[in-house]
Amino acid sequence: MPENFDFLVLGSGGAGLSYALRVAKYGSVAIVTKKDSAESNTNYAQGGLASVVDKEDRFEDHIEDTLIAGAGLCRPEVVEMVVRSGPDVIRELLDWGARFSNVDGTLDLGREGGHSRKRIVHAADRTGKEIERALLSALDKHPNITVMEHHFALELITEHHLGQKVTRHSTDTHCYGAYIFDIRSGKVETIRARATLIATGGVGQVYQHTTNPTIATGDGIAMAYRAKAHIANMEFMQFHPTSLNIPEANSFLISEAVRGKGGILRTRDGRTFMGDYDERAELAPRDIVARAIDEELKKTGEDSVYLDVTHIDRDVILEHFPTITETCRKFGVDVTKEWIPVVPAAHYLCGGVLTDIDGRTSISGLFCAGEASCTGLHGANRLASNSLLEAIVFSKRAAMASAEYIQGQSELPAIPDWDDSGTVNAEEAILLSHNQQELQKVMWDYVGIVRSNLRLERAFRRSHLLYEETEDYYQRTRVSVPLCELRNIIANAYLIIQCAMKRKESRGLHYTTDYPKPVTSEKHDTII
């Protein structure tokens, strides 16, 4: 028998948890997460949350900084709405129990690349983890919320599963919940819901090097794409300029806030170089810093550039960056005495499931918030620390829109059970890991920081072969998390490649040697 809920939340990061807390007063809520509830991209966010809270700061300045970073593709009305919502978000998080860094009772504000003023509210260098902790603590006290850990969302349920034809041009497609794989029992459950929120995070695992955790396989975006929702701006993948370049460190993120405190980028011989690329030097937006590092590595043939904080007071470093300091120490680097070896790594997706200003997608009853969404805030490049802000703001707007939506909804239709007849248990798991590694390397080599028509064409051909192999395997095999994650990674790679091939210019995070300048006629969203 299918389980029924008023609201289904796919993902347990900041967007999903805050949405659940808000809609719980309107009905029953199920949160589906494929790992433990605390495992999310939010949990790994170090830097902070951008908001105008200092009396010397202005909304207009934060808006302008965001628009400049977005390289002409931000939706101005969305930017203004999100920026002006910032102080309320901070107050709400404090009410939920978040503990942010402060000095004598006043919030300690940091500054990061692209920001004209100090406005980054943070909890040392583990802000996401603190927000996640506060939200989970508030959520534990709510009787209307059911958390389904170790459950994997397979497919969104639409009219397609009722035998009706659904296309991307359909205007009356509805989401009725999702098929959910219970990882521990191996069974596929049918979860019916009157409103569904995708909050599954980003797609970092599409790339060989990423600051994202292993869960970041773009599951929600892939499901939405298969359900025929509109997807936009997938070519704008943000590469964080500074990940720890020690193999065992798994591309551990060295927060932008380190450069905000005065960290200097150097080549191996000690030369500073960021001033050669941008007058803002180390505080330039991430796309500029990442491309500058990539260019220096190509010129020198080195594996790393170096982030130098040895000139900063030791106590300041230890107080503001305890996690970074301890992690680097664990891998043999004393940041107070030695330079930190760093390279860029895939970090944040600025595209995703296309939504309106209230988180609605092109499918009725399906909402989206957080990194999986394309709201119009980030445009062609995300301004540092705007992501946590966006997640909380849009989860609130989506919650209000969802509560309103279910009021006028009729009875949910009967949904057929998941059909896995004719499939067998997987016997060749090596195919999955090999295909994933091959795809990640193809994406890193051909669809990374610098692109070209030739590289994109090669990536498309190779990824299509992997798609055919994996899809054939999927049709014959019972579902498993590695298999479904591979399908989702391949789907997201396809979307990134297709969007990149459509954009005949360089703008923001998308840089191609064939079209090195922005073009006015290309100043629009790439929608698939």
Active-site positions? Answer: 286
Q: Count other Cβ atoms within 10 Å, centred on residue 94.
A: 14
- Taking a C-beta distance cutoff of 8 angstroms, is the pair 357, 375 a contact? yes
- Taking a C-beta distance cutoff of 8 angstroms, is the pair 12, 31 a contact? yes
- Written as six digits, the tokens of 258 are 């380190």
SS3 label, residue 389: helix
Parallel/antiparallel/unpaired status of strands 305-308 and 340-349:
antiparallel
Phi, psi of 290 (to 5 degrees): -65, -45
The DSSP secondary structure of 219-234, one letter per residue, reads HHHHHHHHTT--EE-T
CA dist 136 and 32 (Å) reads 14
Burial 159-195 (b: 16+ CB within 10 A, else e): bbbeeeebeeebeebbbbbbbbbeeeeeebbbbbbbb
- Per DSSP, which regions of 40-136 are E strands? 49-50, 102-103, 106-107, 109-110, 120-121
Which residue carries 């998308």 as its tokens?
Answer: 510
Q: Residues in the chain, how many?
A: 528
